[in-house]
Amino acid sequence: MSRLSIIHLLRANAVSFSSVVQIGDSQEIHLSARALAVQRQFEYVDSSEFPLIFPIYTKQIPLPPVDQEPLYRRTLHDCPVIAVHSIRIIGVSSTSVVHIGSTRKVEGDSRVKHIRQLSERRG
C-alpha cells in the first residue's frame, strides 16, 4: 500500500467543516460534521433559541448491505511514486477529503438540519 507522494504545488483557498487535505498514505480517515441552517425573513439572533438536539443528529444511518461473495483484487503499481504537478482547490467543505496517496478506509458523515421561518403572506 505504501507509495511516495510528490506534489510540486498545492493551493487550497479554503478547507473547513471537518474536511481534510491529506498528502501521503493513511490507514483510516473518519470525518463527521453537524450543521444547523436557519433561514429567516426578518433578522433575529438568539444563540439559545435552537438547542442542538434534533433526531437527524442522533439517528442511526443504515449501512449498505455487504455482499458476502469473496472479492479478489490484484493491483499492480508499476511506479512506486504518485507524482502530481499542481492542484488548485477553490474549497473543500462539509466532511470532504482531498487525498493524494493510499487509504484503507474512509468514513464520512455530514448532517444538516434546515429550518425556515417565513412570515405568512396576507392578501
The pLDDT assigned to 123 comes to: 56
Residue 29, domain member (yes or no): yes
Residue 26, domain member (yes or no): yes
Q: What burial letters (b/e) apply to 58-69, b meaning 16+ CB within 10 Å?
A: eeeeeeeeeeee
Residue 21, domain member (yes or no): yes
Mean pLDDT of 25-35: 90
pLDDT band at 117 (very low <50, low <70, confident <90, very high): confident
Q: Are 33 and 18 in contact (CB under 8 A)?
A: yes
The pLDDT assigned to 99 comes to: 93
Share of the chain above pLDDT 90, in %: 30
pLDDT greater than 60 at residue 69: yes
- Residue among 5, 7, 27 nearest 81 (CA): 5
The pLDDT assigned to 14 comes to: 94
Residue 62, domain member (yes or no): no
Residue 32, domain member (yes or no): yes
Share of the chain above pLDDT 70, in %: 96
SS3 for 54-122, per residue? CHHHHCCCCCCCCCCCCCCCCCCCCCCEEEEEEEEECCECCCCEEEECCEEEEEEEEEEEEEEECCCCC
Residue 61, domain member (yes or no): no
pTM of the model: 0.69
Q: What is the mean pLDDT of the chain?
A: 86
